[in-house]
Amino acid sequence: FKNFRKCEAAAMAELRGEWGRKDSLALRVGSYVDAYFSGELEQYKADHPEMFKKDGTLKADFVHAHKVAERLESDELARMLLSGRHQVIKTVRIGGVWFKTKSDSLLTAAQVEAICKRFPQVRELVPFGGAMIVDLKYVKDFDDIWDEDAGEKVTFIEFWGYDIQGAIYQAADKRSVPFVIVGATKQDEPDLDALFIPDDDLSYSLSEVEALAPRYDAIKRGEIEPEGCGKCAYCRSIKKLTGIRHYKKNNELTPVGSW
């Protein structure tokens, strides 16, 4: 869904296997950190021999990922937030379209209560008790990012569509439980943070999913032609020149006679 939001044409090209790499290095490194906390690290290593050098040691990106995982585990709050049921799969129908979610850590009411006793400020998120959905993110840093479409800097959560993801996860859980992101950065000395997205923001994001999901689903079924954003790497790769334009007038072809 997030890929379609960025560029419909690129998303379809990726689904058809014509563009992009689903098993990118960034994805595999992030999955390494996930596997560390889900207890599946040894199996993950066995399934991905490409992460090792010839001498059997981990390549640099995965050495750093292991360092980040250990850093998270050493932090009491992060460790408690990531102690729920791992990789819980749920499905939900939104806007007539089926979505599948996979939670990194689904905390029970009892686990959340234990967190609240140790960290009283957390109770503001669950004043009456209850469960919590936690998602682990391994990102470059926590800085705001320039959004070309918005024409301004936005939070890394909005830029990468984690608010959209949280809205879908909350809908799949069928409860208005808090959606919390535990973040760790790829910096030489990793930074950590725990962030929640308010329900009002999630509700707004869910309305966007409800509005756009039918169109994206129709595109996947071949009923509607996808539109290209004209700016992403895929759109640049298929761009064809159709004329000559004035160097100061973006996207405006200039008749030769007007020169």
Q: pLDDT for 70-92, tens place per residue?
A: 999 999 999 999 999 998 999 99
Angle (deg, nearest 10), helices 8-15 and 199-220: 60
**What is the rounded average pLDDT of the residues 250-259?**
58
Closest CA to 65 of 192, 193, 186, 191: 186
Q: How far apart are CA 197 and CA 203, in angstroms?
A: 10
**Amino acid of residue 248:** K
Query: Which is more confident, 102 or 254?
Result: 102
68 Cβ partners below 8 Å, 6+ apart?
A: 33, 138, 184, 185, 186, 190
Residue 259 has pLDDT above 50, yes or no: no
Residue 209 has pLDDT above 60, yes or no: yes
Q: How far apart are CA 186 and CA 141, in angstroms?
A: 7
Give the pairing type, strands 132-139 and 179-185: parallel
Residue 251 has pLDDT above 70, yes or no: no
Q: What is the pLDDT of residue 175?
A: 83
Closest CA to 142 of 104, 194, 105: 194
Q: How far apart are CA 103 and CA 85, in angstroms?
A: 8
**What is the rounded average pLDDT of the residues 212-218?**
97
Q: What is the DSSP letter of 58?
A: B
Q: How far from each other are the two terminal CA atoms of the chain, in whole angstroms?
A: 45
At 176, the pLDDT band (50, 70, 90 cuts) reads confident
Q: Over the chain, what is the mean pLDDT?
A: 92
Specify the residue for token string 């936005």: 154
Give the bridge partners for 153, in sequence order. Answer: 146
Tell me the three state secondary structure of residue 140: coil
Q: How far apart are CA 122 and CA 109, in angstroms?
A: 13
**What is the rounded average pLDDT of the residues 238-246?**
91
Integer angstrom CA distances of residue 3 from 13, 36, 244: 11, 27, 31
Q: How far apart are CA 191 and CA 183, in angstroms?
A: 8
Closest CA to 28 of 165, 182, 138: 138
Q: Sort 177 into a burial class: Cβ within 10 Å, 0-12 / 13-18 / 19+.
A: buried
Q: How far apart are CA 156 and CA 137, in angstroms?
A: 11
